Amino acid sequence: SLKQRGEKRQDGEKLLRPAESVYRLDFIQQQKLQFDRWDVVLDKPGKVTITGTSQNWTPDLTNLMTRQLLDPAAIFWRKEDSVAMDWNEADAL
């Protein structure tokens, strides 16, 4: 969508590879929404990275940044020869 809008990437942004996808969940109408639990299932080998982005309006930074990128919240993967899915230990809570 950056190419479509004629915008340049910000620091930390990257273009998607052919096998990557982005799914957007828009919570504008639900200000107090929070996640208590994620259920992630990988049927075949691959990797899932859950990353949060924030577009909160900040008057002092609006002219400098339109998207705030956050660190990945969780990473899950399944190797080719593995039956079970793996995840970062901190993401298991």
Q: Does residue 59 form part of some domain? A: yes
Range among 23-27, 80-84, 86-90 rated most confident: 80-84
Name residue 86's beta-bridge partners.
77
In this structure, how many other beta carbons lie within 10 angstroms of the beta carbon of residue 76? 19
Q: Does residue 48 form part of some domain? A: yes
Conformation bin of residue 75: beta by default, left when phi > 0, alpha when psi is -120 to 50: beta
Q: Does residue 60 form part of some domain? A: yes
Name residue 48's beta-bridge partners.
76
Q: How many domains does the chain have?
A: 1
Domain extent at residue 88? 43-93
User: 24-51, pLDDT tens digit by residue?
Assistant: 666 666 666 666 666 778 888 888 877 7
16: helix, strand or coil = coil
Residue 73 has pLDDT above 60, yes or no: yes
CA angle 86/89/90 to nearest 5° reads: 130
Q: The whole model's pTM is what?
A: 0.49
Q: Does residue 13 form part of some domain? A: no
User: 49-65, pLDDT tens digit by residue?
Assistant: 777 666 555 556 555 55
